[in-house]
């Protein structure tokens, strides 16, 4: 009688062990940011801490404009998975723009994605526009994922210049580690 009870008990323990092993996803590697961004704009790609490298001339292969190169002290644009964002100014090359007041930053807001459109909304009085819709260009290389908002899409750094030609032709350039 004891042998008959042990067999079902042992089988039950074995089944539980197998189910636990099959359901354990903690050993599955998390996809890299490069993999998450390989399909373009998605929530998985966007979530994280992006570095604002500078303001670039969108008509000139997104080459950073020298007076707006923030690579030695980049700004931070952080997207969280609950649909919030935070942006803080770069630590270098802010110039003498009376429109950029570091006391007005960081800027907070909400984000959402609809198709290939990134919708951003901030209640900050530091920005000229509180709402924007952009179609970001996302590219992946070996070490970084690059994102820009496209020509004429200065938003978070629009106050960095009052030059119409820059505002019309420039884009903000962000990067995040591809790992």
Tell me what the mean pLDDT of segment 2-7 comes to: 47
Q: Which one, of 15, 62, 24, lies nearest residue 173 by Cα?
A: 62
Q: CATH second-level architecture of 33-177?
A: Beta Barrel (2.40)
Q: What is the pLDDT of residue 17?
A: 44
**Tokens encoding 114:** 């609809």
Q: What is the pLDDT of residue 21?
A: 45
Q: Which one, of 101, 51, 50, 93, lies nearest residue 68 by Cα?
A: 93
Question: Which residue in the block uniquely carries the two structure tokens 């591809």?
Answer: 178
The model scores a pTM over 0.85 = no
3-state secondary structure of 92: coil
**What DSSP character marks residue 59?**
T
Is the model's pLDDT at 18 over the cut of 90? no
Structure confidence at residue 100 as a pLDDT band (50, 70, 90): confident
d(CA 138, CA 113): 14
Tell me what the mean pLDDT of segment 61-87 comes to: 94
Is the model's pLDDT at 11 over the cut of 70? no
Task: Report the chain's mean pLDDT, rounded to a whole number.
Answer: 85
- Render pLDDT for 137-177 as a digit per residue (tens, 0 to 9): 999 998 999 999 988 889 999 988 888 888 899 999 999 99
Tell me what the mean pLDDT of segment 64-71 comes to: 93
Q: What is the pLDDT of residue 5?
A: 46
């Amino acid at each position: 009688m004891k042998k008959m009870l042990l067999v079902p008990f042992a089988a039950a323990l074995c089944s539980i062990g197998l189910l636990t092993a099959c359901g354990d996803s903690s050993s599955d590697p998390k996809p890299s940011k490069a993999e998450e961004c390989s399909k373009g704009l998605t929530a998985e790609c966007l979530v994280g801490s992006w570095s604002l490298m500078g303001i670039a001339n969108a008509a000139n292969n997104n080459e950073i404009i020298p007076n707006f190169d923030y690579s030695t002290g980049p700004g931070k644009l952080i997207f969280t998975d609950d649909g919030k964002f935070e942006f803080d100014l770069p630590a270098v090359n802010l110039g003498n723009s009376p429109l950029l007041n570091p006391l007005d930053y960081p800027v907070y807001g909400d984000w959402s994605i609809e198709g290939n459109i990134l919708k951003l909304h901030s209640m900050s009085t530091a920005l000229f526009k509180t709402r924007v819709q952009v179609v970001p260009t996302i590219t992946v290389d070996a070490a970084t994922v690059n994102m820009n908002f496209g020509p004429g899409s200065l938003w978070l750094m629009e106050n960095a210049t009052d030059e119409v030609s820059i505002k019309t032709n420039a884009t903000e350039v962000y990067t995040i580690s591809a790992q």
